[in-house]
Structure 1
């Protein structure tokens, strides 16, 4: 009996310790758009876009608060938000907005909103380029890079405490390449740029205020999300795939600049992808037919989250689970044991437990009011 009590106390202390280690995540919520029978429609007189601030360091996941009037957009990859490593600031990109002349239409936006996560308030707005979308912050927290999806350019931002400023916007390619996201190596010296419009990935060298192309790779159609392993050796790119085919994960060896592995995930439209902080797990978020009209042969009511183990250049599918419709991004807890997925149609976040590769729906659903469109945690790169 005595041993049991001691063990219980130790377990209890361990849980307290785990729960005391907070990890912030931010969901960007698009209030402007909804989907009806596979067709995207603008919402009449929508409430302002918002973000939901979360603590992934505890299970159930804790909602810390909501910040209103933070422009965001489901247009583009679900990586249009990033958090500084010290969890002081969130940067939220808005790639599209309602057309002031015709609110039934969307036009490109160029705003980056700076949010103080401690006080949970907007403290600034910057303008980068048309279609401001996927962005990333360097590991030292001093630079951010923003992909301007409708301009073919990348904007460099400086971060000094709570001061964020536009340093330079670098034209890289034609606008129709739909430059969508830039992922960064841990040392901040390499960028992996996804070109959604022409099925290519561009590797770039980053240094000072310069961005220089080093390689252009042909990849599966419609690449969107990208991530780099903690050792900086490998990148994983998620492609939505051909509109009539399945999503694809591609593994790139950054030293050689070559694609060394491709994997068909078995479900259509791989919208979102995130790597766990230790580089061990890859979570892919697929529409899986949920964005099709209900009378379409490919229609399915739910999307799918798929989980892969990454070992070297190898990807092994270990689990999958049903999610909501028109689902977007995913984020991991620091230890990879919790995976949170965004459902745009249901306007919520779905929480899963990752038990060494086995995904289990915890049953926790977090409402986001607007459609959950993009998500990152403080350790997502």
Structure 2
């Protein structure tokens, strides 16, 4: 009975006139399915999509769908939404092209979607010249940073009206593989994960450009891929994805207020934590472990399930408090509110929902998609 009550409070349509609180974007990857340990296009060719949900008065409601390219490559939290909730930006790093429909190749698309009308509408398709692995908006929504892991660079874009234009590019050390960007609460700096060089670097931000050299480099764990800032607590968390070897990988807690900023705790969570997020109050962390579900089934390390892991931040430490299994090939996990969590499985094409009740994950009915598996996420700021 408890699960039914929770489900009703989280998923039923909101009453007319309720104020919109949060937009959740879910990118559906239709171009890839697992065959052994390889991601290959399926026989039935369908368009990638982004599905939008409104969280209104505590209820999650599907509000629109649009066909645009998405990609499972890169940090799962790669869709950016403006502070006024009027635009969404969707990068795609790989996909099918007309002359090679059965092969996944690098692409360089950034789709800009107008959310202000009755239905999502594509207003610009920008070619970046390089495959973009994540898109992150500045707090004021006026600038955007798109990382290019394969090129060891980032593109800085200017956002005005309903369009974006390339302002500049910044190159990093060869082989550093920049993946995820997070603007820090001080408004003057940002953090970038460099998976190839196993570090998180802090850079000065001047409103329209990044200083080319970091002012601080932090060692967290092996292949740091995703990062989330924990509200105004002064903490950030980093998911250290590892090498998909079957070894247990880690989440690190960074104290941004320390002099100098540094990692103050790193805990084992399981194989390959793909996405990581903090609750708005900074008290809890969630991650989605791929958990060796993307390797060949004949391999003795193979697992049929991914895993959602809930952690608490207590006394400047990370504490694992609960776990739950979901379908294979997990991508992102995200707090939609302080107690509603979503987690993606590409393989079973489901967005898994959980209610956080204190230190417990209470499973809700998942949302199943037809076109593809959920691979990327985005949440409106605030």
Range of TM-score over shorter length: 0.7 to 0.9
Determine the structure 1 residue equivalent to 2:160: 160
Determine the structure 2 residue equivalent to 1:117: 115
Determine the structure 2 residue equivalent to 1:11: none
Residues 135 and 147 in structure 1, CA contact (< 8 A), matched pair in contact too:
yes
Determine the structure 1 residue equivalent to 2:371: 369
Residues 25 and 53 in structure 1, CA contact (< 8 A), matched pair in contact too:
yes
Pairwise CA distance, 1:128:
2.8
Determine the structure 2 residue equivalent to 1:322: 325
| Greater displacement, 44-53 / 313-322 | 44-53
Pairwise CA distance, 1:261:
1.0
What is the alpha-carbon distance in structure 2 between the residues aligned to residue 364 and residue 102 of structure 1? 34
The 3 A distance-change label for structure 1 pair 38 and 94 is: same
Residues 95 and 149 in structure 1, CA contact (< 8 A), matched pair in contact too:
no
What is the alpha-carbon distance in structure 1 between the residues aligned to residue 183 and residue 354 of structure 2? 26
What is the alpha-carbon distance in structure 2 between the residues aligned to residue 187 and residue 126 of structure 1? 30
Determine the structure 2 residue equivalent to 1:7: none
Residues 225 and 238 in structure 1, CA contact (< 8 A), matched pair in contact too:
yes
| Structure 2: segments with no counterpart, 5+ residues | 1-13
Determine the structure 1 residue equivalent to 2:92: 94
Matched, 1:353 2:355: yes
Matched, 1:47 2:46: yes
Give the superposed CA RMSD: 2.3
What is the alpha-carbon distance in structure 1 between the residues aligned to residue 58 and residue 304 of structure 2? 28
Pairwise CA distance, 1:20:
4.7
What is the alpha-carbon distance in structure 2 between the residues aligned to residue 257 and residue 100 of structure 1? 48
| Structure 1: segments with no counterpart, 5+ residues | 1-14
Determine the structure 1 residue equivalent to 2:11: none
What is the alpha-carbon distance in structure 1 between the residues aligned to residue 113 and residue 285 of structure 2? 28
TM-score (norm 1): 0.88
Residues 179 and 196 in structure 1, CA contact (< 8 A), matched pair in contact too:
yes
What is the alpha-carbon distance in structure 2 between the residues aligned to residue 234 and residue 32 of structure 1? 36
**SS of the residue 2:89 aligns to:** strand
Residues 126 and 166 in structure 1, CA contact (< 8 A), matched pair in contact too:
no
Where do 1:1-381 residues align within 5 Å?
20-44=19-43, 46-57=45-56, 61-68=60-67, 70-98=68-96, 101-119=99-117, 120-174=120-174, 176-212=175-211, 213-231=214-232, 233-244=234-245, 245-254=247-256, 255=258, 256-265=260-269, 267-311=270-314, 313-334=316-337, 336-367=338-369, 369-379=371-381
**SS of the residue 1:282 aligns to:** strand
Pairwise CA distance, 1:289:
2.3
What is the alpha-carbon distance in structure 2 between the residues aligned to residue 40 and residue 28 of structure 1? 17
Task: List per-residue Cα deviations over 1:78-137 (Å, max 9, x = no partner).
Answer: 122111122111100111123555444333222211011233111112233522012222
What is the alpha-carbon distance in structure 1 between the residues aligned to residue 238 and residue 229 of structure 2? 9
